[in-house]
Amino acid sequence: MTQAKSGGLVRIHYHGTLNNGDIFDSSKEGEPFEFVLGSNQVIPGFETAVAEMRVGETKEITLSPDQAYGERMEQLLLQVPKEQLPEQAELGMSFQIPLSNGQPHVFQLIEIKEDFAILDGNHPLSGQTLNFALELMAINPEAG
């Protein structure tokens, strides 16, 4: 059995659930998910778990927010005047807004009040404990 190593392209099936049993993502009905180990393409806890696996191995992991998308940050909730929104704005719509450092960041419209709207720049899974069932399908020792 081959073990995954940094720089290797891995193919993995995963099934992700929240603690209440809700499924937030899964590759089981399609092609395995591919990523390069050590390239920061996935959340830290997911990458660490896969790096310890061998082809054909399955495992179940639970990731705390600090191993996944982090804790929710109140400073990423913005209250903006309603007139600053596009006329066709609706709940769930995403906007790219520069942060104080000038870097663009995606915010989602989560609430519309009479005079203002609330945009949330947190990842939808931030603050959540994530559970994954993993199966390492294949490893290419050198990516690309």
For residues 62 and 20, membership in a common domain is answered with yes
Residue 59 falls inside a structural domain: yes
pLDDT in tens, 5-14: 778 899 999 9
The C-alpha atoms of residue 134 and residue 4 are separated, in whole angstroms, by 13
pLDDT (average), residues 93-97: 92
For residues 111 and 135, membership in a common domain is answered with no
* Domain containing residue 109: CATH number: 2.40.10.330
pLDDT band at 116 (very low <50, low <70, confident <90, very high): very high
Q: What are phi and psi of 67, to 5 degrees?
A: -95, -5
Tell me how far the alpha carbon of residue 130 is from its chain's centroid: 10
pLDDT in tens, 20-47: 999 999 999 999 999 999 999 999 999 9
Per-residue pLDDT at 57 exceeds 90: yes
Residue 93 falls inside a structural domain: yes
Q: What are phi and psi of 6, to 5 degrees?
A: -55, 135
| Best CA proximity match to 79, nearest among 103, 114, 104 | 114
Q: What percent of the chain is predicted at pLDDT more than 70? A: 96
Domain with 53, as residue range(s), is 9-69+125-140
pTM of the predicted model, to two decimals? 0.82
For residues 37 and 86, membership in a common domain is answered with no
Residue 1 falls inside a structural domain: no
pLDDT of residue 113: 93
For residues 88 and 115, membership in a common domain is answered with yes
SS (H, E, C) 118-138: EEECCCCCCCCCEEEEEEEEE
